[in-house]
Amino acid sequence: MPQGIAPEQVDIWFQDEMRIGQRGTQTRLWARKGTRPRVVRQQQSESAYIFGAVCPQQSSAVGLVMPQANTEAMAHHLQALSEAVPAGRHAVLVLDRAGWHTTPKLPQFPNVSLLPLPAGSPELNPAEQVWEQLRDRHLANRCYDGYEQIVDACCEAWNAFTQIPGAIRSLCSRNWAILPSASVIS
């Protein structure tokens, strides 16, 4: 984090990405007792990735749907996050250690610092729970005709989640990620 930034100017953001595609996720369904509902599963392999970052302190979110998960896509996501950080604020972005998160090829932004989690610790990243919500409520048990329909579904799911008042704060707040001088309103 750059010097001269006071703790009250820092926001903790959590970032992750999720693949959505024609070989999607199957989840449980409500069904009449004694019946076994059928769920369609496609065999095609087109997919897209949602790159998402959430800030529980500010109830803010930034999401992009990209065709691949790689350094270029991550650079676009960091650019979008940097543009979303209000003037005079600094974002500390907590993320996993995927290769495209840790490469020195990523651009540096003066208002964003990357903070990688320990290897193999997805349970520490609340963004993982966002994906669970999106799959359970919007993206599982579906068939897609092609890439454009996948992108539309991803955008609709992300926007629906981020529009729910208090969803980001209630799902993604962690006591260990609150700066001592920051106050969180429940």
If you average pLDDT over residues 79-97, what whole number do you get?
A: 96
Q: Edge-to-edge, what's the strand order for the sheet holding 90-95?
A: 60-66, 47-55, 10-21, 90-95, 112-116
Q: What are the tens digits of pLDDT across the range 138-159?
A: 988 788 888 999 999 999 999 9
If you average pLDDT over residues 163-174, what whole number do you get?
A: 92
Alpha helices, DSSP H, located in the chain: 71-84, 99-102, 127-134, 147-163, 167-172
H or E stretch at 48: strand 47-55
Instruction: Judge whether 167 and 46 are in contact, CB under 8 Å.
Output: no
pLDDT at 52: 97
- What rounded mean pLDDT belongs to the chain? 87
If you average pLDDT over residues 3-19, what whole number do you get?
A: 90
Q: What are the tens digits of pLDDT across the range 69-84?
A: 999 999 999 999 999 9
Residue, of 23 and 107, whose pLDDT is higher:
107
The domains of the chain, with CATH numbers, are 7-23+43-174 (3.30.420.10)
Q: What are the tens digits of pLDDT across the range 12-45?
A: 999 999 999 855 555 555 667 887 766 665 455 6
If you average pLDDT over residues 86-98, what whole number do you get?
A: 95
First to last CA, the chain: 27
